[in-house]
Amino acid sequence: MSVLVAMLLDRWLGEPPARLHPVVWMGCYLKRVGQTLPSRAPKVALLLGTAYWFLGAALVGLAFTGAALWFAKLPWWLGGVLTAVLLKPLFALRMLLSEAQAVERALGEGIEAGRARLAHIVSRDTTQLDGDQIRESILESLSENLSDSVIAPLFWFAIFGLPGAAVYRFANTADAMWGYRGQWEWAGKFAARADDLLNLIPARLTAVGLALAGPGRTTVLLALPREAARTASPNSGWPMSALALSLGVKLRKPGVYALNPDGRSPGAADVVVALRRAQAAAWGFAILVVICLQVLPRFIRA
């Protein structure tokens, strides 16, 4: 029940205020302890970055474990609702869809507006992108973040409950803030590797969900491993390739990768379809989690 209530809270209310948002708190911790890490010697930066990661993960895990244990003592319905309230900030489907829609709307106003809005959701330089490249970036961000921001938190909730979802979200936030090459090469190395590990299964589940949400399912699934291997990342290529193959479009990062290179350039209609399929994949996975948590245990006991 908690998962579906959390999904509905996300749909109706969106994100809680920053002052009440646990992911914002995680970010504040990471920003504070990470202030001096890039200036450290490589071995020291790696050691401290790893230690601060484990300390933060432990604090988050303990806090959410305590909440889960307290909720378990309450009436089932109240504990379920409170669990949903704490689960909701750990994923962000509505915000993900809204941000992608906002870029497409801005692009409709003009190329400069589209570039400026896209810069809010991607780290690459957007100042030279054309309309096709902006839409490709929308689709890439949508598919990759569907895994990171929705499917993965729900997956780890299904395995380890609230602490699992919360620790995953901490790990993903640490990767987003520290997991870069350059000055963060050593300080963020453990954070980047931890995020890669925790996303191995969710990224592939997201890819399957996106493939099943569109036509040509068998063809897409068979082509997925080949296309996903075109990216250096062990995970991001899977959901991006699934969406590219399902839509029949190409997704490119110049000089880095080209997914489904024989596909056509995406149009505004492709963004609309992609948003619909991403939402379907998210809700489909949420229902699957509910079945795994509620129906299967009762079936096994019977």
3-state secondary structure 226-257: HHHCCCCCCCCHHHHHHHHHHHCECEEECCCE
- Answer for the pair 290, 157: CB distance below 8 angstroms, yes or no: no
Helix (H, G, I), strand (E, B) or coil at 44: helix
- Answer for the pair 140, 240: CB distance below 8 angstroms, yes or no: yes
Mean pLDDT on 273-282: 98
Residue for token digits 């330089």? 125
- Look at residue 98 and tell me whether its pLDDT is greater than 60: yes
Q: 171, 173, 178: which is closest to 40 by C-alpha?
A: 178
Token representation of residue 291: 């079945």
- Look at residue 298 and tell me whether its pLDDT is greater than 70: no
- Answer for the pair 113, 168: CB distance below 8 angstroms, yes or no: no
Mean pLDDT on 214-243: 96
Q: Which amino acid is at 170?
A: F
Mean pLDDT on 16-27: 96
Q: 147, 138, 146, 93: which is closest to 119 by C-alpha?
A: 138
Question: CA-to-CA distance for 217 and 15, rounded, in angstroms?
Answer: 33
- Look at residue 267 and tell me whether its pLDDT is greater than 60: yes
- Look at residue 301 and tell me whether its pLDDT is greater than 80: no
Token representation of residue 270: 């492709």
pLDDT digits (tens, 9 = 90+) for 28-52: 999 999 999 999 999 999 999 999 9
Across 31-40, 229-238, 293-302, least confident range = 293-302
The DSSP H or E segment spanning 259 is strand 257-259
- Model confidence at 165, pLDDT cuts 50, 70, 90, reads very high
Mean pLDDT on 6-12: 97
Task: Say how many C-beta atoms besides its own lie within 10 A of residue 225's C-beta.
Answer: 13
Which pLDDT does position 199 carry in this prediction?
Answer: 98
Task: Tell me the pLDDT of the chain averaged across its residues.
Answer: 95
Taking the whole predicted model, whether its pTM rises above 0.85 is answered as yes
Which pLDDT does position 302 carry in this prediction?
Answer: 52
Question: CA-to-CA distance for 266 and 17, rounded, in angstroms?
Answer: 35
Q: What is the DSSP letter of 294?
A: I
